Amino acid sequence: MKKRNNSWVQRLFVGVLPLCLFSFLPIKAQLIVTDNRANAESQLRKLSIAEMAIKSLYVEEVDEQKLVEDAIRGMLEKLDPHSTYTTPKETKAMTEPLNGSFEGIGVQFNMVEDTLIVIQPVINGPSEKVGIVAGDRIVMVNDTAIAGVKMSKEEIMRRLRGPKGTIADLRIVRPGIKDLLTFKVKRDKIPVHTVDASYMLKPGVGYIRIGSFGATTYDEFKERMAQLKAEGMKDLVLDLQENGGGYLQAAADLAGEFLEPGDLIVYTEGRQVPRRDYKADRNGSFRQGRLVVLVDQFTASAAEIVTGAIQDQDRGLVVGRRTYGKGLVQRPIELLDGSMIRLTIAHYFTPSGRCIQKPYEKGDKKSYDKDLLNRLNSGELTNADSIHFADSLKYQTLKKQRTVYGGGGIMPDYFIPLDTTRYTRYHRELAAKSVIIQQNLRYVDKNRKALKKQYPDFAKFKAEFEIPQSLVDAIVKEGEKQNIKPKDDAEMQQTLPYLKLQMKALIARDLWDMNEYFSVFNEDSEAVKKALELLQ
């Protein structure tokens, strides 16, 4: 009984406390609070009246849901570039890759013209368990034709996905087999990996590429680290190029693997949000080996947090180009219909105090989106001499007092210029029209068995395989059909080396997986070459 009385007293005290605090405010302060509250209520009424008036009186019928969504977007557009609104469908598509899984049949696929071809079934996934193999064509799902009907890729994905435990009744054409095959696939949770690749670059040097920071990134990273250590890894190249970010906590957990307990990783602070420090809170699994981080102009947000922490704590070297400069913290506000507002509430700061966010003007997203183009035009991406920082942007690293720079993004310790000569206009147009990927799929689909027989392991493929002239000719011919032609023979010759490298990497991916793709691609990466040079 006594306990119940205490609880009742506590609840009464908590309820009365705000009134007690308010009663001691000066009369002027009370009036200000009252005026602010009344003003806020007045603005909300104004917004509500406007919405009701349009709905009830406008000359034509309006979509009320779209009206409200446009109003929300209109408010957010006047703020910073990263405060956004997403519909329920957009919210699901945005969060699914970061949440670590989705529910479906578990195949990697691509479309050749209007036919779905399985690139690979997910290992131990539902499709592999029932016998679906690479090269299969899925032509029907639950008695609905998806081949030859010009159905969008998004619509096909919607039909293949579904709640865990439901059945997808598939009809499949398999090369070499006359009759349609039938498979009943029980949908299940399919993992979404954020660690793209990991392998040994050379004896003693491991390589890990992280595509984004999601719910499973830290666990994936630890698993890949353990594998590489078992293969003799002493030093690590951490590739964060084109990593657009993700969850702050995932980035903080991963950075902690390289730092000493108590080392500051990042801190956040905003107008209504007090400073919060994120520190390494455990004995990291890789505190001794040498570390090089690769970044570029697309490395953003959570990836910049990891990069900034490693640089400021003098834990490793950063190689590449200045990162994107996304240092605003968004709080997700879930709405009743599944839509979401992601509202900026604070800034990220590196351990030395640098604000990661690049400058912007409120409401001017157009100029903000042109930043990378401006960097290219100014020469920043191609020439280190074009990069200049004011003395006011100088900061010192925490252990060695090296000079680093603020002003938005993370400036690398070693600059790697963007090579604009290797990726020609001709190559860009072939890629944009999907000519390269389509011809790659056709080639692998036709030659998969022969390739596997000739190259039973990846090491032999990497050392000996060369792109046949017939495949190059097929790409050129298909390009001509779509009015894509090189300007002259010089452009053609300039295009071929990078095109062949890309094709070899894609074939390796389709025959094996992403480790093999990056193993081929990184053979010609200036950033990787520089990392290996530094580690020597």
Q: Which residues are catalytic?
A: 301, 312, 326
For position 204, what pLDDT does the model report? 97
Distance of CA 239 to the CA centre of its chain: 13
> Order of strands across the sheet with 195-202?
195-202, 205-210, 235-239, 291-295, 317-320, 414-415
For position 388, what pLDDT does the model report? 81
For position 1, what pLDDT does the model report? 43
For position 78, what pLDDT does the model report? 93
For position 36, what pLDDT does the model report? 64
For position 6, what pLDDT does the model report? 43
Distance (Å, whole) CA 72 – CA 81: 14
Distance (Å, whole) CA 118 – CA 251: 33
For position 14, what pLDDT does the model report? 36
Contacts of 421 (CB under 8 A, 6+ apart): 494
**Report field, pTM of the whole predicted structure over 0.85:** no
Q: Mean pLDDT in each 10-residue stretch from start to end of the chain (536 residues)?
A: 40 35 44 61 85 90 89 92 90 76 83 81 84 87 85 83 91 86 90 93 97 94 97 98 94 97 96 95 90 97 97 98 94 92 94 94 91 92 84 92 93 94 91 88 91 95 96 95 93 95 95 95 96 95
Q: Which amino acid is located at 179 in the chain?
A: D
CB atoms within 10 A of CB 27: 7
For position 3, what pLDDT does the model report? 42
Q: Is-contact 499 518, C-beta < 8 A? A: no
For position 457, what pLDDT does the model report? 95
